Chains A and B, each alone.
Chain A
Amino acid sequence: MPHPIPDAVVADGHSAEARAERQRQRSMQTRRGVILGEKIAGWVITVGGLMVIFAVLGIMVFLFRVVMPLLSSGEVLGQVNHRIETRAPVVWVNSDEFQTLGLAVENDGGVTVFHVPTGATVLREQFDFSADVSAVSGTIERDRIVLGFTDGTVRFAELGVSNTATPESRLPEGLVTLDARDRTAGGQVFTRVQTGDFRTLTPEISLGEVEQISEHAIIALDYRTGGTVERPTIAFASVDAVGQVRVSRSRVQRNMMTGQETVRTTTVDLPALPIEPDVSVTQVLLSGSADRAIVATDDGRLHRYDLRDLDAPVLAESRRATAEGVAITALTFLGGEQSLVVGGEDGSLSVFFRLQRSGAPTADGFELVRARDHAAMPAAVVDLSEAQRDKSFVATDAAGNVWLVHSTSDQVLFEFARSGEARGAAQAMIFPRGDGVLMMAEDGWMEAWQVRAHHAEVTIRVLFGRIWYEGYGQPEFIWQSTAGTDLAEPKYSLVPLVFGTMKAAFYAMLFATPIALMAAIYTSEFVDRRVRATVKPMMEMMESLPTVVLGFVAALVLAPLVEEWIAAVLLGFFSLPVGLMLGAFLWQMLPPHVALRYDGFPKFTLMALMIALAALSAYNLGPAFEQLLFQGDFKGWTTGRIGTGTPFMFLILLPISYLAVGWAFRRFLGHHYRALLGDRDRAAAGRLDALRWLLMLAAAMLFSFSVASLLTAIGYDPRGGFVDSYQQRNALVVGFVMAFAVIPNIYTLAEDALNAVPGHLRAASLACGATPWQTALWVVVPTAASGVFSAIMMGMGRAVGETMIVVMAAGNTPIMEWNVFSGLRTLSANIAIELPEAVKDGTNYRVLFLAALTLFIMTFFINTIAELIRQRFRKRAFQL
């Protein structure tokens, strides 16, 4: 491009030469666009390249971030304390799910409704109590209570809060502002919600008639509602001052035709408690369907009544629940009524399960079993109250400590201490949504804590340790994240899943490693180039087969086949190697020139033919084999109903004993044998060698059988261990098909490693007179060992993370047994099954992310180690 020459330059009168020189200099400068392009490209490519590191780190960090809240402790979001204007000691307190209204019942019949955030009194009602309240109890929702009096009377009461919506236009006149959020009028509290309407909370308080149930003061009460929607049950238990326990149960029966409801009430006096006269009852507890009652006494004993037949109540069991001389001072069921929390005078908090046990020393076969002891409180436990939605409870002690405890995960979530201003005994409750605790002292001092307990049901111990869950006989590793009812305990042990992953990977590697390695060695060392050029791409193509296809074939084709022909499959494990060895010994008998001529592809075809023959014979002999060893019913045998462990142990020990016999032969007779062979020509030597092999096989069988019989004689039976009852979708099938998926991986990498061994090593070895077999075994394989090992590691990484095959073919039962014939559930399959259903940011969601993180870290280590080994191997191979 011609550059315009400034006039000034022309005017200066410089020569044309100088102009040309300047122009050349200018054109030698790189254009700006090129420099810019260069910079941008360099920048983009560097950032892009480093993105890979960020991607790996990013995945890990993201998974961590989702998982972390599982293990973080809870936080206290807010706290209020106020003195409520009460006129007599408070005996009961309730609140609504929005933590807005509190209702306190006082000893003199007064009920104060207060605003929790400000402590302001919203409403006050006065009832007339004929005597002092001596006992009080309520349902789990705390809105229906029963009050027991010193004169032997009881009264039922309702103490709830109803929640309705009011449009702005219909708000009542004369609203009083309580705080920034709430306004009140006529005992109601109005709160603006997102839709623009007002949430209206109305206290609902009513008191029933006086009912005389005893001559003596009532000292303990319990009140429960339960049953089904069609047949609700209301039940209450009472204990009077002389220790008489009574249970009343009302069942409402609805007539389907008329809609009429009839109430049938049954009241029974329970059999007398087996206690000394100076021992008194402290607590009574009744189940929702009123089929069992538990009475606690101040000598530290629990007495359990079986009320399944209410007309004939039985005292089923009495047992000590606290240390000697320690009274039981508080008692409650956890949600679901499976666990019983016992609070002692010494501050102890223990949990009991009612378990059915054979040989239990009780009247009904059940037994109260101490499942766990929580951390003890500093002083006597005076009040226990359970959460409505999970397995936590709040405990209050005499010193004013209020603890929120999660029972399943055995952790104290929050430890509160009330301020010094409160006087008298206190009680505490968990707000209905489980997001706070309300404590009320007798003198009207109220404290409320707003909390957020992050995934209280999960701790490290829950994830990786044994936990004693409700309904189980002992602590166990269980995965059961969802259940039919809300109140069932979710069970989040990752151990069965990790176990399943290991089991699947183990069986897969058991099949894959030998086949892949042997095939790789054969391909790299013993076949010519052309065979290799077709075989290797074929194996590589296998690598890209979708595993969903393999899984489908495993589950719908292979699993039923294997189940039908299990005996033939078992036989196949022996007929295949024996058939191949037979082929080899027959081949040895061939005259050398024939063997030499047909070496290579014809021999390889013959091997394939031998395999087909062996498979065919396994198929044909399967039933006879089953008849011979397992009385014709292998699946029946696995359950342990028929036969002994000998036949299976014989099969398992056969390869080992063959190796042992082979070693012994070589060690003790090898020299003589070699001398014996040395005098013969090749064909004759081959015949002798075949004879030797047959004898060794027979010896191995004999040896194996005698060892197996010996094991049976000393009482060992594999059934119940790594063999047990047969399921169609089992580890054998999974292992086999997963091996199919893993073999190409291991094969390709191992073959690459073997191939990378420099040719001059082979040449040197062969030149020294070693046969190709000796060269492969003693020169090539040891050199490539680290590369081969890294191939195995990579294969294992794939087996650990494989998903679809396991989802489809493994049965997905999270059990922990090594049984080859049972199903399993792996981490990956578990994620694939449960994550689509998991609620975002819920506990299960985060635990599944933890499962993913576990997988990620497992494979991260396996792959990093494999890669490091491979890099080292490569360096060494180049140095050779």
Chain B
Amino acid sequence: MTDIKQDDIPASGAAGVAAVAAREAVPGRRVRRFSADLSAVGEPALWGFGGALALGIILIAGFLFMIAWNGVTTFWPKPVEVVELRDGSVIAGVATRGGPYRVGEDVLVRLDDTQRAEITENGGMASRTLYKTANFDLYGDDFRWVSDFEVAGTSTPADFYYFERQQWGVFVGRVAGLVIDGQAQPYDAATMVREQRRARERFEQIRRLERREIGAINHRIDQERLAMRRAALRHGADSDRTRAQIESSEARIAELRAEFSVLQERVDAIRAVDRAHRVQLEEVGGRQVDTELSQIVRYFAANELSFTQKLGIYVSRWWEFVSTEPREANTQGGVLPAIFGTVAMTMLMVVFVAPFGVITALYLREYAKQGRLTSIVRISVNNLAGVPSIVYGVFGLGFFAYTMGGTIDQLFYPESLPNPTFGKGGILWASLTLALLTVPVVIVASEEALSAVPRSMREGSLACGASTWQTIRYVVLPKALPGIMTGMILAMARGAGEVAPLMLVGVVKLAPALPIDGFYPFIHLDRSFMHLGFHIFDVGFQSRNSEAGKPMVFVTTLLLLVLIVTMNATAIYVRNRLKRKYAGAQF
């Protein structure tokens, strides 16, 4: 039987037409003419099929482009517009988006005749713009829709600044005055720049003192308390050892408290300085807000920026995004803890998934006799791959966190009960759950990689007197390693993007502490963590103002997608590199 490869066949819709055309070229043959039997070519159906493929590609490309565009442009500084409305009021803000909309009856009634005629001419549509007016503390909202027919005039005055504040989000307005060291001064750009930088340094200093040093003291006080409880549980409440422990612990706590109050005084002193450095901000309508200079994270005269300045702000915003913690209910600031959590969880997951996945693949390929049992194993693998991720979350919560974690707590952490240590969601349980979820990916990829190793190599090794395990260890595994690595990285990509099960087993919207820090035992597998995917869900759906959080969601989405695409790309890179490396080992 001759096997004709698919490539040898002219695979195109016009093949039939070609045949037809060829036949038509022969004159005078009165056979039944199929020439124009268009139904045989199926052109409309072909277009439908091709259209489906094109539609799929357009959707994917459009989707990726939308995410990329929104994510990339978010941090670019935009001008502040001052818009005078026909009713005499003035608003200032950054135009975010706009488009045509259908004007409601109630609005139409209030308009004058020419405007109404114009709208009617447009089929009842008018266009509008969404301005980010910011100043949430004054307006109670961050955004405002302005229809084009409301606008009397727009301008971009030079003295309008865009302030990013530590609290209350953005402020858009002018600077009305400064207070330096308790002395009121008129606004001066150079002073403002200098003092704001100093104020931020003070702010960072306070934060460092509170986080690091006071945090460490609190941690040690907690440790002493736990030590007392542990002693009471182990040796009985009345025993001598417990009494000795209590005595020493309380002495330590008293010492720590003293240290604490010293630090607190230092913090209070800096705070006092901070309060003497203030700035008066004035919104477009003239209302003022008095705030400490240290509250202003970043500010710029939005309408006066040169391209390089814009670029500088753009880069500094990105840097802030990837290197700091979130503020303002996650809608501002950075996502460092989420990046950290995602990466740590994924790494931990790989530690669990790698051996299990590879061993199963080895069993299926190298050890088991192909038969009913392997068939069942394969169906099981397939089922593991097909079970909804949320079911893993349920299992992880019930089995890992509550059952296993609860047991660990009773055995090893009785002093903290009833507060659970491992008996709740945490990074360990999350990564175990995801390991279970991604193991089929590793198994399938590893099996493919193992089956790609030529039989001759195995036989050669065995013929040289190596045992089965030696053959696997020194011949098969090294050859299959690139494929196995690829599977592992694909599993990482899958695990990093999964959110639903994490919602049940330990992800939180704001983690007070990272899973790795400077306190013994340094790696805290029991801790909850933040995650980029959950961050998207949280900011987009659970914050007070989803519109204000939307830019943040886009940027986080972009980051997550880049992370996952990078992992996929790395998979390919690693595979190629290893292929080259082991190419010499081929027979």
A contact set with B: CB distance below 8 Å: 30, 34-35, 37-38, 41-42, 44-46, 48-53, 55-56, 59, 62-63, 66, 514-516, 518-519, 521-523, 525-529, 535, 538-539, 541-542, 544-549, 551-553, 555-557, 564, 576-577, 580-581, 583-585, 587-588, 592-593, 595-596, 599-600, 603-604, 607-608, 610-612, 623-624, 627, 632, 674, 677-682, 685-686, 689, 693, 740, 743, 747, 755, 758-760, 762-763, 766, 769-774, 777, 794, 797-798, 800-804, 807-808, 828, 831-832, 835-836, 840, 848-849, 852, 855-856, 859-860, 862-864, 866-868, 871
Contacts and interface: CB of A to CB of B under 8 A. Distances in A.
B356 to A, nearest CB: 7
A527 B1 contact: no
B367 A52 contact: no
B123 A549 contact: no
B398 A849 contact: yes
A766 B15 contact: yes
Interface in B38-95: 38, 40-60, 63, 66-67
A849 B399 CA distance: 12
B3 A759 contact: yes
B250 interface: no
A581 B47 contact: yes
Contacts, number: 386
Contacts of B138: none
28 contacts: A34-B467, A38-B467, A48-B362, A49-B377, A50-B363, A53-B376, A56-B383, A59-B391, A529-B7, A552-B537, A581-B44, A584-B44, A604-B53, A610-B51, A678-B35, A681-B35, A759-B8, A772-B12, A773-B42, A803-B388, A803-B390, A832-B504, A836-B503, A852-B394, A852-B395, A855-B390, A859-B388, A867-B382
Most chain A beta-carbon contacts within 10 A, residue among B8, B52, B399: B52
B543 to A, nearest CB: 12
A670 to B, nearest CB: 9
A30 B470 CA distance: 12
A404 B497 CA distance: 50
B585 interface: no
A610 B359 CA distance: 51
A840 B402 CA distance: 8
Contacts of A48: 355-356, 359-360, 362-363
Contacts of A542: 60
Contacts of A523: 53
Nearest to A557: B66
Given A773-B41, A801-B389, A680 B398 contact: no
B45 A773 contact: yes
A682 B49 contact: no
Contact of B387 (A685, A769, A856): A856
B497 A49 contact: no
B280 to A, nearest CB: 36
A42 B468 contact: yes
A798 B500 contact: no
A593 B389 CA distance: 53
Contact of A808 (B13, B504, B537): B537
Contacts of B533: 546, 548-549
B383 A677 contact: no
A558 to B, nearest CB: 10
B555 interface: no
Interface centre among B8, B42, B378 (most CB of A within 10 A): B42
Interface in B456-475: 467-470, 472-473
B37 interface: yes
A531 to B, nearest CB: 9
Contact of A577 (B11, B48, B53): B48
A581 B46 CA distance: 9
Contacts of B386: 794, 797-798, 801, 859-860, 862-863, 866
Contacts of A519: 49, 52-53, 55-56
B380 A52 contact: yes
Contacts of B382: 863-864, 867
B546 interface: yes
Interface of B: 1-21, 24, 32-33, 35-38, 40-60, 63, 66-67, 101, 123-125, 355-356, 359-360, 362-364, 366-368, 375-395, 397-399, 402, 436, 439, 443, 467-470, 472-473, 490, 493-494, 496-500, 503-504, 533-534, 536-537, 540-541, 546, 550, 553, 557, 560-561, 564-565, 568
A608 B383 contact: no
Nearest to B396: A59
Contacts of A680: 36
A9 B364 CA distance: 50
Contacts of A587: 43, 47
A623 B540 contact: no
A863 B40 CA distance: 37
A576 B553 CA distance: 32
B88 to A, nearest CB: 30
Contacts of B392: 59
A599 B363 contact: no
Given A542-B60, A552-B553, A593-B21, A763 B4 contact: yes
Contacts of B42: 771, 773-774, 777
A42 B367 contact: yes
B47 A580 contact: yes
B38 to A, nearest CB: 5
Chain B CB count within 10 A is highest, among A53, A529, A678, for: A53
Q: Is the interface of A mostly helix, strand, loop or mixed?
A: helix
Among B3, B12, B20, residue most surrounded by chain A Cβ atoms (within 10 Å) = B12
Contacts of A46: 363, 367-368
B33 A766 contact: no
A519 B363 CA distance: 37
Contacts of B48: 518, 577, 580-581, 584
Given A526-B13, A773-B16, A867-B379, A632 B55 contact: no
B44 A547 contact: no
B96 to A, nearest CB: 13
A551 B537 CA distance: 8
B390 A832 contact: yes
**Best-surrounded residue of B2, B50, B55, B123 (most CB of chain A within 10 A):** B50
B13 A599 contact: yes
B391 A808 contact: no
A583 B54 CA distance: 14
A800 B393 CA distance: 16
B172 to A, nearest CB: 23
B394 to A, nearest CB: 4
A538 B61 CA distance: 9
Contacts of B44: 580-581, 584-585, 693
Given A828-B500, A852-B391, A871 B57 contact: no
A596 B18 contact: yes
A549 B562 CA distance: 12
Contacts of A538: 57, 60
Nearest to B549: A556
Contact of A52 (B10, B13, B384, B389): B384
A483 B399 CA distance: 28
Contact of A804 (B45, B499, B560, B568): B499
A546 B63 CA distance: 13
* 7 A-B pairs with the lowest CB-CB distances in the bound complex, closest first: A801-B388, A49-B363, A546-B497, A771-B16, A48-B359, A773-B42, A685-B36
A526 to B, nearest CB: 6
A848 B394 CA distance: 9
Most buried by A among B11, B379, B439: B11
A588 B541 contact: no
Contact of A525 (B11, B14, B52, B384): B11
Contact of A596 (B17, B51, B536): B17
Contacts of A771: 15-16, 19, 40-42
Contact of B359 (A44, A766, A831, A855): A44
B550 to A, nearest CB: 6
Given A519-B53, A773-B41, A527 B388 contact: no
A860 B391 CA distance: 12
